[in-house]
Amino acid sequence: MASHRRPKPASRTRVTVLTATAAAAVALSAQAASAAPAKPSKPTSVKDAKAQVDTLYSQAEQATEKYNGANEKLKSLQTEASTLQDQVARQQEHLNTLRDSLGTIAASQYRGGGIDPSLQLFLSSNPDSYLDQATALDQISSLQSSALQQLQDAKRTLDQERAEATAKLAELQATRTELGQRKNEAKTKLAQAQAILNSLTAAQRQQLANDDARANRSTDRVDLGDAKPATARAASAFAYAQGKLGKSYVYGASGPNTFDCSGLTSWAYRQAGVTIPRTAEEQASAGTRIYSESKLSVGDLVIFYGDYHHVGFYAGNGMVLHAPKPGAVVRYESIGNMPFQFGVRI
């Protein structure tokens, strides 16, 4: 975050909340270090192993998409919290200046033979209580009244900004905690998938690897038909995505050389000059929904699964271009291989 001035008197809000955040992060790291993935059931066949692994990969992708969303929220909250802390610092300095000016008035009155009772009350050990009583005192001069009203307004603004900053920092802490939880969840699912693969014989693992290799190579022979993009920006984004065919899938990656599903689509549209949300779930609401597969155009986003955790590009002729799963690369695949929900035209 940005550095902040240290006005007098110093507020403990930021130190307290950030200390709590650091403690939560340490506790989360300790918890993650001690956590171990549950032992998966032994597959009865290569087909059973593939089904189990694919399910775990899908669950890991769900967790990763939530991680991506929390990460985007974290970035936004960090900016907002930093801005609020700067506002609190500036307002504290303003309040200190107003208090100093009232102290100058009191000193002048003392030299002239005594301090106004209203200023005596303000300069007492509990000056904040004065702010609620000052307006009832008849002895306040117009100059003092204006200065005291400014002080009261500044104090009210400072209290409000401190409360907003405290709430924002608490939200930031909660988001950091969620970020760690989602990351650990994805790691656990991936570890479980790897344990299943490790339980297979060398020949069985090779069979699965050959299946994935064939799927990756199918990109070279795909027939996309003669479908056209609906918009120029969709055509541009799809062309950028095509340029990444063969690049590896990596959870949480958003380019330029590795991608997860929503990382590919958001990166490609960004290259085309269009900003769309980072996660598949948010991309599901980023444009006009198209519920009929027959009405999809090249470059439309295609949303899969009931919770919208996977996304790709419609490529034409019933095919999608997407970043599918670990061990795979950005490739074409039949739209029917996953539970289609709807398309989104950007």
Q: What pLDDT, on the 0 to 100 scale, is given for residue 33? A: 39
Q: Are residues 172 and 25 in the same domain?
A: yes
Question: 273 to each of 172, 230, 268, 301, 346, how far by Cα in Å?
Answer: 30, 16, 9, 16, 12
Q: 183 and 48, same structural domain?
A: yes
The answer to the question of residue 210 being in a domain is: no
- Tell which of 165, 200, 235 closes a domain: 200
Looking at the structure, tell me whether residues 101 and 196 fall in a common domain: yes
Instruction: Give the pLDDT band (50/70/90) at residue 296.
Output: very high
Q: Rounded to whole angstroms, what are the CA distances from 263 to 157, 246, 268, 342?
A: 41, 15, 8, 19
| CATH code where residue 62 lies | 1.10.287
Residue 93 lies inside a defined structural domain of this protein? yes
Q: How confident is the model at residue 26 (pLDDT cuts 50, 70, 90)?
A: very low
Q: Is 94 assigned a catalytic role?
A: no
- Judge contact between 106 and 119, C-beta under 8 A: yes
293 Cβ contact list (under 8 Å, min separation 6): 318, 335, 340, 343
Q: Name the most confidently modeled range: 79-88, 127-136, 151-160, 305-314.
A: 305-314
Q: Is the pLDDT of residue 180 over 70?
A: yes
Give a yes or no: residue 273 inside a domain: yes
**What is the pLDDT, as a whole number, of residue 168?**
79
- Residue 105: predicted pLDDT: 55
Q: What is the pLDDT of residue 136?
A: 43
- Report pLDDT for 336: 93
**Residue 43 preceded by cis peptide, ω within 30:** no
For residue 306, pLDDT beyond 70: yes
- Predicted confidence at residue 4, as pLDDT, reads 43
Whether 119 shows a pLDDT value over 80: the answer reads no
Is the distance from CB of 332 to CB of 288 less than 8 angstroms?
A: no
Check whether 253 has a pLDDT greater than 70. yes
**What is the rounded average pLDDT of the residues 311-333?**
93
Mean pLDDT of 106-128: 52
User: 190 with 46, same domain?
Assistant: yes
Please tell me which of 72-76, 209-213, 227-231, 272-276 the model is most confident about, judged by mean pLDDT. 272-276
Query: What would the pLDDT profile of 200-241 be if each residue is shown by its tens digit?
Result: 888 888 888 787 777 766 666 788 988 889 999 999 999 999
Top-confidence residue, 47 or 129: 47
Q: Which residues contact 132 (CB under 8 A, 6 or more apart)?
A: none
Q: Which of 150, 183, 200 is the last residue of a domain?
A: 200
Instruction: Pick the more confident residue, 221 or 184.
Output: 184
CATH number reported for the structural domain that contains residue 309 in this entry: 3.90.1720.10
Catalytic residue chosen out of the listed positions 4, 94, 309, 322: 322
Find the domain containing 51 and state its range.
13-200
Q: What are phi and psi of 112, to 5 degrees?
A: -90, 0
Give the CB-side neighbour count of residue 268, counting CA atoms within 13 A.
33
Does residue 5 form part of some domain?
Answer: no
In a shared domain, residues 31 and 131: yes
Which has more pLDDT, 2 or 213?
A: 213
User: What percent of the chain is modeled with pLDDT above 70?
Assistant: 73
pLDDT band for 131, please (50, 70, 90 cuts).
Answer: low
What does the pLDDT read at residue 38?
54
Which has more pLDDT, 273 or 53?
A: 273
User: Are the CB atoms for 250 and 260 separated by under 8 Å?
Assistant: yes
With respect to residue 4, please indicate whether it lies within any of the assigned structural domains: no
SS3 of the chain: helix, strand, coil, percent, to 5: 60, 10, 30
CB atoms under 10 Å from CB of 55, counted, come to: 14
Residue 241 and residue 171 share a domain: no
> Is residue 220, in this structure, part of any structural domain at all?
no
Q: What is the pLDDT of residues 142-151, one digit of tens each?
A: 556 677 777 7
Q: Do 67 and 114 fall within a single domain?
A: yes
Give the number of domains in the chain: 2
Q: What is the pLDDT of residue 18?
A: 36
Q: 252 and 194 in one domain?
A: no
Say if residue 44 is in the same domain as residue 131. yes
Which of 200, 217, 244 finishes a domain? 200
The answer, yes or no, to whether residue 21 has pLDDT greater than 50, is no
* d(C-alpha 194, C-alpha 186), whole Å: 12
Question: Is the pLDDT assigned to residue 121 strictly greater than 70?
Answer: no
| Pairing of β 310-316 and β 301-304 | antiparallel
Residues 6+ apart with CB under 8 A from 92: 7, 8, 9, 11, 158
pLDDT at 9 over 50: no
Report which secondary-structure segment, H or E, holds 205. Answer: helix 202-217
Active site residue 4: no
Length reported for the chain: 346
Report phi then psi at 268, rounded to 5.
Answer: -65, -45
Same domain, 264 and 120: no
CA–CA dist 325, 307 (Å, integer): 17
Q: Is 66 exposed, middle or buried (0-12, 13-18, 19+ CB in 10 A)?
A: buried
Q: What is the residue-averaged pLDDT of the chain?
A: 77
Top mean pLDDT of 51-65, 94-108, 109-123, 142-156 is at 51-65
Question: Is 103 domain-assigned?
Answer: yes
Q: What's the gap between Cα 41 and its chain centre?
A: 34
CA distance 191 to 146: 67
User: Is residue 217, in this structure, part of any structural domain at all?
Assistant: no
Is the same domain home to 74 and 183? yes
Classify strands 258-259 and 248-249 as parallel, antiparallel or unpaired: parallel
The 8 Å CB, 24+ separation contacts for 241-245 are: 241/265, 241/268, 241/313, 241/321, 241/330, 242/321, 244/268, 244/330, 245/219, 245/321, 245/329, 245/330, 245/331, 245/332
- What average pLDDT does range 296-314 have in this prediction? 96
What pLDDT was estimated at residue 84? 78
* Same-domain pairing of 35 and 158: yes
The reported pLDDT for the residue numbered 3 is 43
